[in-house]
């Protein structure tokens, strides 16, 4: 372990002394967050979104009003997180939960729903507002998961490829450093830069009014999720031919971008086509985002399934990555 | 005493390409032994096997009394290596690079300072590795290879790509290393270098050792004034003119 830490320190210092690396560690995630927060934030919504539970045809009806965009869903928390109005219809009882800033729209919405349900004798409305969450809370917490993904996978494949290309690995391979220490050194580096990258994102979040709940469990989980993705990076790099290093980086790109965009990092699960929903829901980044949101946004204990799922993947990827990413043929 | 002992060493890549075809040689303690030969002859493969990076396909290899590959952990702790075109951590300073290797080889802290002094690197201690000239990068490589006080050094083409003055500097450093009682196995295709530095030479051609002798013996055998001329005459006799 001593050699792994010595190596991690050398890699950290080497990379953080480079302006290019600093750009990718600090500014690139900030740009990405800004693009998503400003591009897809509540201000950019052309219509007020209404999530309807219990009456799909009401969602279609709302779409025809030109005032509201109706979608079908049952997750009230997710709806409010996206600044959607949430409508739950149960016979003649209608519950409306809305973000506080949308209170001026509620009378119109009530009238439209009343009109739609005109066949029902008495419609009773129960209306409440939530201060709750904003899309910024959602996107910034999702961005933290994205950072662990991109730093973990690209970090290992990119940094290791660079050291192979520079032939530093030739020298290290002849030293007493063991292969697993080398992999651990790279992984520790990825964890450190993920933590560094997270700070400016959270500061940006503050500017958008997002007050994250920073806890030891959040930091620990962020480290574990980076460990998992770094393990995945080690698997990719270990399987790639060392005389064709571009293969590792291409494979990392091919894997990371679909994982990033087919996840709940920027868009709610309900925004995806039904065929993709199971993939989006259970792919590792979405599960990580669920846990991160539970910890930093909702202040609730994450589900045991989510944590266990990530723990198993972490052990599997780190073990296989450590076995595949050999420094030398003799290991 | 033999510090390196190689017998009938074979290396076959992908079950087809025979890089080494049964080479046998040894290195005596305290000597500079040079492996010479054209590009692709098998010099680097030999060094990679001896420094426990690549597995031998067949044959017996002993380094400092330890079997390769079975006892590679012990070999790696005791042997210094200067690989071809050594690159350190490019954004670490000279001092940080040397310190890293001293720590890996469990050397004493004071060794960092000693190595920088003995290799004239004090002035460059805060210079990033990437900003050094080729000659100084090679100095750092040698400093790193001496971390942990090895008794044996493998140097793979240590002067390739250097200007004449830097080459001379590296030669002097290799001579100094020998004076410290360190044995050196050197690969090179610069014959003047081999003639100046080597106690004994082995000429490798198409994966086989075709001559084992001293530079003087080879020059005498072909009645030539320099090792380069003798080597060319040997190659001609082997059909590689």
Contacts of residue A79, defined as CB under 8 A and 6 or more positions apart, other chains included, come to A49, A51, A73, A85, A86, A97, A268
B contacts of A166 (beta carbons < 8 Å): 87, 90
Predicted confidence (pLDDT) per residue in B21-51, tens digit: 999 999 999 999 999 988 888 998 999 999 9
Q: Tell me the three state secondary structure of residue B183.
A: strand
Question: Predicted confidence band at B167 (pLDDT cuts at 50, 70, 90)?
Answer: confident
Q: What is the pLDDT of residue A132?
A: 59
Q: pTM for the complete prediction? A: 0.80
Best mutation target among B44, B45, B53 (most A Cβ atoms within 10 Å) is B53
Q: Are the C-beta atoms of residues B135 and B166 closer than 8 Å to each other? A: yes
ipTM value for the complex: 0.87
Q: What is the pLDDT of residue B81?
A: 93
Phi, psi dihedrals of residue B173, rounded to the nearest 5°: -65, -40
B52/A174 touch (CB, cutoff 8 Å), yes or no: yes
As a whole number of angstroms, the distance between CA A2 and CA A177 comes to: 10
B66 touches chain A (CB under 8 A): no
Nearest CA in chain A to B154: A174
Burial of A313 per CB tally in 10 Å (0-12, 13-18, 19+) = buried
- Token duo for residue B75: 């070999």
As a whole number of angstroms, the distance between CA B1 and CA A11 comes to: 40
Q: Tell me the three state secondary structure of residue A176.
A: coil
B51, B92, B106 member nearest A174 (Cβ)? B51
For each of chain A's 331 residues, which pLDDT tens digit applies? Answer: 889 999 999 999 999 988 888 888 888 888 878 887 666 654 445 567 889 988 888 888 888 887 888 888 888 877 876 778 899 988 888 899 887 777 788 888 888 988 888 877 677 888 887 765 677 788 888 889 999 999 899 888 888 888 888 889 889 999 999 998 998 999 899 999 999 999 998 888 888 777 888 899 999 999 999 999 999 999 999 898 877 778 888 999 999 989 988 998 888 787 788 899 899 999 999 999 999 998 988 788 899 999 999 999 999 999 999 888 888 877 7
Residue B128 DSSP label: B
Q: How many CB pairs under 8 A join A and B?
A: 80
Burial of B23 per CB tally in 10 Å (0-12, 13-18, 19+) = buried
Q: Are the C-beta atoms of residues B121 and B93 closer than 8 Å to each other? A: no
- Token duo for residue B159: 């002067």
Mean of per-residue pLDDT scores for chain B: 91
Q: Which of residues 36-65 of B touch A (CB under 8 A)?
A: 51-55
Phi, psi dihedrals of residue B205, rounded to the nearest 5°: -145, 125
Q: What is the pLDDT of residue A43?
A: 45
CB hemisphere CA count around A163 (13 angstroms):
25
Phi, psi dihedrals of residue B83, rounded to the nearest 5°: -75, 165
Phi, psi dihedrals of residue B240, rounded to the nearest 5°: -120, 35
Best mutation target among B94, B100, B138 (most A Cβ atoms within 10 Å) is B100
Helix and strand counts by DSSP (H, E) for chain B: 9, 10
B53/A13 touch (CB, cutoff 8 Å), yes or no: no
As a whole number of angstroms, the distance between CA A158 and CA B12 comes to: 30
Shortest distance, CA B107 to any CA of chain A (angstroms): 12
A167, A170, A330 member nearest B52 (Cβ)? A330
- Token duo for residue A240: 């790639």
- Token duo for residue B115: 């190595």
Q: What is the pLDDT of residue A155?
A: 85
H, E, C per residue of B195-219? HHHCCEEEEEECCEEEEEECHHHHH
Best mutation target among A15, A163, A174 (most B Cβ atoms within 10 Å) is A174
Q: Are the C-beta atoms of residues A18 and A189 closer than 8 Å to each other? A: no
Burial of B241 per CB tally in 10 Å (0-12, 13-18, 19+) = exposed
A176/B141 touch (CB, cutoff 8 Å), yes or no: no
Cα-based distances in Å from B190 to A179, B183, B187, B233, B238: 34, 20, 9, 15, 19
**B186-205: average pLDDT:** 92
B91/A330 touch (CB, cutoff 8 Å), yes or no: no
Neighbours of A311 (CB within 10 A): 12
As a whole number of angstroms, the distance between CA B87 and CA B128 comes to: 12
Compute the C-alpha angle A183/A186/A192, nearest 5°: 140
Shortest distance, CA B73 to any CA of chain A (angstroms): 7
B91 touches chain A (CB under 8 A): yes
Task: Say how far residue A2 (Cα) sits from the centre of its chain.
Answer: 32
Predicted confidence (pLDDT) per residue in A267-305, tens digit: 878 778 889 989 999 999 999 999 999 898 878 889 999
């Amino acid at each position: 372990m001593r050699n792994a830490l010595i190596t991690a320190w050398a890699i950290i210092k080497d990379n953080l002394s480079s302006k290019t690396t600093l750009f990718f560690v600090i500014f690139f995630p900030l740009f990405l967050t800004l693009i998503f927060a400003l591009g897809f934030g509540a201000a950019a919504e052309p219509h007020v979104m209404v999530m309807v539970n219990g009456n799909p045809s009401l969602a279609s009806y709302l779409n025809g009003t030109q005032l509201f965009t109706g979608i079908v869903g049952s997750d009230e928390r997710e709806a409010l997180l996206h600044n959607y109005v949430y409508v739950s219809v149960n016979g003649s009882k209608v519950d409306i939960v809305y973000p506080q800033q949308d209170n001026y729209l509620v009378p119109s919405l009530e009238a439209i729903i009343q009109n739609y349900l005109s066949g029902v004798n008495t419609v009773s409305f129960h209306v409440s507002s939530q201060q709750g969450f904003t899309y910024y809370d959602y996107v910034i917490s999702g961005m933290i998961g994205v950072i662990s993904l991109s730093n973990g996978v690209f970090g290992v494949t990119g940094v290791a490829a660079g050291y192979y290309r520079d032939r530093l690995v030739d020298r290290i391979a002849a030293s007493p450093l063991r292969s697993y220490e080398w992999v651990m050194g790279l992984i520790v580096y990825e964890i450190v830069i993920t933590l560094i990258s997270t700070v400016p994102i959270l500061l940006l979040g503050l500017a958008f009014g997002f007050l994250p709940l920073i806890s030891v469990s959040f930091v620990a989980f962020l480290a574990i999720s980076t460990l998992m993705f770094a393990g995945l990076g080690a698997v990719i790099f270990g399987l790639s031919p060392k005389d064709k290093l571009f293969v590792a980086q291409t494979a990392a790109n091919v894997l990371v971008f679909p994982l990033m965009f087919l996840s709940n990092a920027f868009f709610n699960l309900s925004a995806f086509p039904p065929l993709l929903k199971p993939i989006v829901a259970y792919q590792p980044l979405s599960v990580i985002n669920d846990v991160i949101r539970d910890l930093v946004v909702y202040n609730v204990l994450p589900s045991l399934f989510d944590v266990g799922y990530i723990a198993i993947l972490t052990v599997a990827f780190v073990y296989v990555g450590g076995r595949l990413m050999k420094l030398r043929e003799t290991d | 005493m033999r510090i390196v002992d190689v017998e009938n060493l074979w290396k076959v890549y992908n079950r087809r390409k025979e890089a080494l075809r049964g080479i046998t040689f040894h290195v005596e303690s305290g000597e500079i032994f040079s492996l010479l030969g054209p590009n692709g002859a098998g010099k680097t493969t030999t060094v990679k096997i001896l420094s426990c990076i690549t597995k031998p396909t067949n044959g017996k290899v002993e380094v400092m009394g330890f079997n390769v590959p079975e006892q590679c952990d012990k070999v790696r702790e005791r042997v210094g290596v200067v690989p071809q075109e050594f690159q350190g951590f490019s954004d670490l300073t000279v001092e940080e690079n040397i310190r890293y290797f001293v720590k890996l080889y469990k050397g004493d802290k004071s060794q960092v300072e000693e190595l920088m002094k003995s290799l004239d690197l004090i002035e460059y201690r805060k210079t990033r590795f990437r900003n050094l000239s080729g000659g100084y990068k090679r100095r750092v490589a040698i400093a790193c290879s001496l971390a942990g006080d090895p008794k044996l050094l493998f140097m793979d083409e240590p002067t390739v790509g250097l200007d004449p003055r830097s080459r001379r500097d590296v030669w002097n450093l290799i001579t100094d290393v020998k004076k410290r009682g360190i044995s050196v196995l050197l690969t090179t295709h610069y014959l003047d270098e081999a003639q100046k530095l080597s106690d004994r030479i082995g000429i490798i051609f198409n994966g086989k050792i075709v001559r084992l002798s001293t530079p003087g013996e080879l020059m005498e055998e072909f009645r030539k004034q320099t090792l380069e001329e003798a080597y060319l005459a040997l190659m001609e006799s082997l059909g590689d003119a």
